[in-house]
Amino acid sequence: MIIELKDVNKTYFGAQPLHVLKGINLSIEEGEFVSIMGASGSGKSTLLNILGILDNYDTGEYWLAGKLIKDLTEKQAADYRNRMIGFVFQSFNLIGFKTAVENVELPLFYQGVPRRKRHTMAMEFLDRLGLKDWAGHYPNEMSGGQKQRVAIARALITNPRIILADEPTGALDSKTSEEVMALLAELNREEKVTIIVVTHESGVANCTNKIVHIKDGVIGEIEENQLHNASVLGAGSIMK
Amino acid sequence: MRIDWDSYKEITESLARNKSRTLLTGFGIFWGLFMLLFLVGGSRGLEKILANNFSGFATNSTIIFANRTTKPYRGHGERRRWDLDLKDIDRLSMMIPEMEVVTPLLSAWNQTAEYDEHSQDCYIKGIYPEYASIEEPMLKYGRYLNESDCIQERKVCVIGRRIYNTLFPDGGNPCGTFIRIGPVFYQIVGVDISSGNISINGNMSRTALVPMPVVQKLYRGGSRVDLIAMTGKKGVKMSSLDDRIRQIVAREHKFDPTDKPALGLVNTEQLFGIVDNLFLGLNILVLLIGLGTILAGAIGVSNIMMVTVKERTTEIGIRRAIGATPRQILGQIIMESVTLTLAAGSLGIVFSVLLLEGLEKITSNSEFGAAPFQIGFWTAIAAAAGLAVMGVLAGLAPAIRAMRIKPVDAMRDE
């Protein structure tokens, strides 16, 4: 069990307190390819932030690879993020003034890996994702699909236990979306990386092997989707 | 934060991204440091130029001279003339045991020194050898006047720099040569090249020092003297003896001891005190201006870093998300600030050093004498160290703000 959430609650205290996560229980096994699906405001992004140790939760327990993630110092959190989790974002979040290869190197820089080794590794990962020729280019010289592949390379380079993808296809057209999802599926199949995709598109969710529906801060149906036959339009899925 | 090629690259990259802003911010620091060091060097040089004027002059001495009385006293009317005379010297040195040297000065004005076809306006000052402790000679050739010169009333002289340069344009040792001053031939025994501009009865460079008895007999007659110069023994403040000097002289010459204008009394100790205070004030002012300017520059840096951090919220958020610790972010921002301040400040140091060097070159040929405008090596090092500290302080507030950026916040607003 790589991820285990036990009765996790999260409330945003603003002018009007917002109870976003209402007792989430979720287990994800190592090597799974899961999507968390819900409409906007369902709490799926908050859940992802908690899974990625980018945000705290109020009550409950979050176990990541056998470690209780609670009351971590910033340094510990940074270290876990760096070594255990790879992030893929909707808007890629590449650093604009760094080339593709420098962006991919960055997590290793913070691990203190020597420059030469870092560079070799980054080139290797870019090569695997078919971006070797683009290594010296800046993000604004690349297409959306290429940028997302650079981001995936950056997520993979630390050899993390899980990859968290937040709407990874949100800014891509349908063809590139399919390519990116295929890439994630391939990584899951061949590298046995645990991948969690957060999305509101049922088509994207359908590419994963398991769909976790979330609505109003509560986990609904958990759909096994090994055959990828949940309707592309999401008509067959019941959201509670 | 490790200091290596990567850190360096990260820093220069982000500084180079907005060149004009970096330049303008750096200019504040540059100007501040330049101002501080240039003013420090400048005031030091100025102080030295002034000190050159005083050089060789006893700092703890009193000089007295006679003026007309201003008060009637014991049957004498006011505006009476009186003179100091040789007996006053014995009196003062005997009655005030704190005195180290009491020595008179007698001048003959408007003289012309001649040698070959050269001539030079000059003064004759009649002195005893003890006078050396009032105006310290800096002998280039020969010797100072001595006891025998005075006892035997030898017609010998020690000439000043200007006289030497005019009469002997080819240089060389003039000792033994006879020069004519007025109707009298004097044999040169020494050349005094001291450059002090404090002059008692004429500047030393245009003075021929002659034994006191010779001047008395040839030019003035009688036992009166123009000035009496005194220095105190070690640890004696000359200004504390003023009253006793007045009492002694007034009683003898029958004027009112409270009649201050009747006895001219100059205290070099007070004079130097005034100058010292002046420069103390100047130095404080320089420091205030310089430090103020640097401070303004540092605040500028801090401000700009603040803006930069705000602009880079997303970038910093990404870095945090992929595993940068808060400390690494803190380190980066501070290093950027330190780099900016150090680079700009070093330029300021270099620039002020060059300019001061130029000033030194210019003044070395001037009549004031060479003055060390240049700041010391350790001053420069201290300035650089101070800069580094300032860079850290300037970067601290923005860096702490950057450190507080949460990855979630950074990536939310898109």
Contacts of A79 in chain B (CB under 8 A): 323, 325
Closest in B6, B323, B326 to A115, CB measured: B6
Please indicate whether, in this complex, the C-beta atoms of B408 and A49 are within 8 angstroms of each other: yes
Residue A8 falls inside a structural domain: yes
Predicted confidence (pLDDT) per residue in B302-326, tens digit = 888 898 888 888 888 888 888 888 8
**What domain count does chain B have?**
2
Residue A46 falls inside a structural domain: yes
Residue B316 falls inside a structural domain: yes
**What one-letter code names the amino acid at A127?**
D
Please report the sign of the dihedral spanned by the C-alpha atoms of residue B116, residue B122, residue B128, residue B133: negative
Q: Are residues B176 and B226 in the same domain?
A: yes
CB of A8 within 8 A of CB of A57?
yes
> What distance in Å separates the CA atoms of residue A213 and residue A37, rounded to the nearest whole number?
5
Please indicate whether, in this complex, the C-beta atoms of B319 and A106 are within 8 angstroms of each other: yes
Whether the per-residue pLDDT at A233 is higher than 70: the answer is: no
Q: Which two tokens stand for residue B196?
A: 């002090």
Does any CB of chain B come closer than 8 Å to the CB of residue A87?
A: yes
Predicted confidence (pLDDT) per residue in B377-399, tens digit = 888 888 888 888 888 888 898 99
Name the residue in chain A with its Cα closest to that of B9.
A98
How far, in Å, are A12, A26, B58, B319 from residue A62 at the CA level? 18, 9, 86, 24
- Residue contacts between A and B (CB atoms, under 8 Å): 64
> What distance in Å separates the CA atoms of residue B185 and residue B113, rounded to the nearest whole number?
9
Does any CB of chain A come closer than 8 Å to the CB of residue B79?
A: no
Q: Are residues B284 and B160 in the same domain?
A: no
Name the residue in chain B with its Cα closest to that of A110.
B324
**What domain count does chain A have?**
1
Does any CB of chain B come closer than 8 Å to the CB of residue A117?
A: no
Mean pLDDT over B84-112 rounds to 89
Residue A23 falls inside a structural domain: yes
Contacts of A110 in chain B (CB under 8 A): 319, 322-325, 328
Q: Are residues B186 and B309 in the same domain?
A: no
Residue B376 falls inside a structural domain: yes
Q: Are residues B241 and B296 in the same domain?
A: no
Please indicate whether, in this complex, the C-beta atoms of B17 and A97 are within 8 angstroms of each other: yes
- The pLDDT value recorded for residue B414 is 46
Does any CB of chain B come closer than 8 Å to the CB of residue A75?
A: yes
Whether the per-residue pLDDT at A124 is higher than 50: the answer is: yes
Residue B246 falls inside a structural domain: yes
Place of tokens 């009492």: B247
Q: Are residues B277 and B359 in the same domain?
A: yes
Host H or E run for residue B291: helix B268-311
Whether the per-residue pLDDT at A38 is higher than 60: the answer is: yes
Residue B361 falls inside a structural domain: yes
How far, in Å, are A20, A62, A73, B257 from residue A56 at the CA level? 12, 10, 11, 92
Whether the per-residue pLDDT at B56 is higher than 50: the answer is: yes
Predicted confidence (pLDDT) per residue in B348-361, tens digit = 989 998 988 888 88
Q: Are residues B227 and B317 in the same domain?
A: no
Predicted confidence (pLDDT) per residue in B19-50, tens digit = 888 888 888 889 888 888 888 888 888 887 77
- The pLDDT value recorded for residue B1 is 45
The model's confidence at residue A237, banded by pLDDT at 50, 70 and 90, is very low
Q: Are residues B88 and B234 in the same domain?
A: yes
Contacts of B13 in chain A (CB under 8 A): 97-98
DSSP code, position B391? H
- The pLDDT value recorded for residue A42 is 84
The model's confidence at residue A236, banded by pLDDT at 50, 70 and 90, is very low
The model's confidence at residue B179, banded by pLDDT at 50, 70 and 90, is very high
Q: Are residues B249 and B278 in the same domain?
A: no
Domain containing B214: what range? 83-253
The model's confidence at residue B411, banded by pLDDT at 50, 70 and 90, is low
A193: domain CATH number?
A: 3.40.50.300
Whether the per-residue pLDDT at A48 is higher than 70: the answer is: yes
- The pLDDT value recorded for residue A234 is 46
> What distance in Å separates the CA atoms of residue A93 and residue A170, rounded to the nearest whole number?
13
Whether the per-residue pLDDT at B339 is higher than 90: the answer is: no
Min Cα–Cα distance to chain B from A230, Å: 30
Whether the per-residue pLDDT at B67 is higher than 60: the answer is: yes
Min Cα–Cα distance to chain A from B306, Å: 19
Q: Are residues B172 and B241 in the same domain?
A: yes
Q: Which of B286, B283, B302 is nearest to B28 (CA)?
A: B302
Predicted confidence (pLDDT) per residue in A51-104, tens digit = 888 888 888 899 888 888 888 888 888 888 888 888 888 888 888 888 899 899
Contacts of B322 in chain A (CB under 8 A): 81-82, 87, 106-107, 110, 154
Residue B383 falls inside a structural domain: yes
Last residue of a domain, one of B224, B253, B282: B253
Give Cβ neighbours of residue B351 (< 8 Å, ≥ 6 apart): B30, B34
Does any CB of chain A come closer than 8 Å to the CB of residue B146?
A: no
Residue B59 falls inside a structural domain: no
Domain containing A181: what range? 3-224
- The pLDDT value recorded for residue B14 is 78
Q: Helices marked H in A73-215 — which ranges?
A: 74-84, 100-111, 115-128, 144-156, 174-191, 202-206
Whether the per-residue pLDDT at B157 is higher than 90: the answer is: yes
Predicted confidence (pLDDT) per residue in A165-223, tens digit = 888 888 888 888 888 888 888 888 888 889 999 888 888 888 888 889 888 888 888 88
Half-sphere exposure of B200 (CA within 13 A, CB side): 32
Residue B43 falls inside a structural domain: yes
CB of B329 within 8 A of CB of B316?
yes
- The pLDDT value recorded for residue B369 is 61
Host H or E run for residue B214: helix B212-215
Min Cα–Cα distance to chain A from B351, Å: 33
Classify residue A85 as exposed, middle or buried by CB count within 10 Å of its CB (0-12, 13-18, 19+): buried
> What distance in Å separates the CA atoms of residue A139 and residue A126, rounded to the nearest whole number?
14
**What one-letter code names the amino acid at B180?**
R
Does any CB of chain B come closer than 8 Å to the CB of residue A54?
A: yes
Closest in B2, B321, B327 to A81, CB measured: B321
Residue B78 falls inside a structural domain: no
CB of B5 within 8 A of CB of A114?
no
Residue A229 falls inside a structural domain: no
- The pLDDT value recorded for residue A238 is 29
Last residue of a domain, one of B253, B282, B297: B253
Whether the per-residue pLDDT at A230 is higher than 70: the answer is: no
Closest in A49, A90, A107 to B322, CB measured: A107
Q: What is the mean pLDDT of chain B?
A: 85
Does any CB of chain B come closer than 8 Å to the CB of residue A52?
A: yes
Which one of B314, B322, B328, B400 makes the best mutation probe of the A interface by having the most chain A beta carbons within 10 Å?
B322
Q: Are residues B396 and B247 in the same domain?
A: no
Mean pLDDT over B243-255 rounds to 90
- The pLDDT value recorded for residue A196 is 92
Last residue of a domain, one of B218, B253, B288: B253
Q: Are residues B163 and B238 in the same domain?
A: yes
Predicted confidence (pLDDT) per residue in B213-226, tens digit = 998 888 877 888 98
Q: Are residues B90 and B232 in the same domain?
A: yes
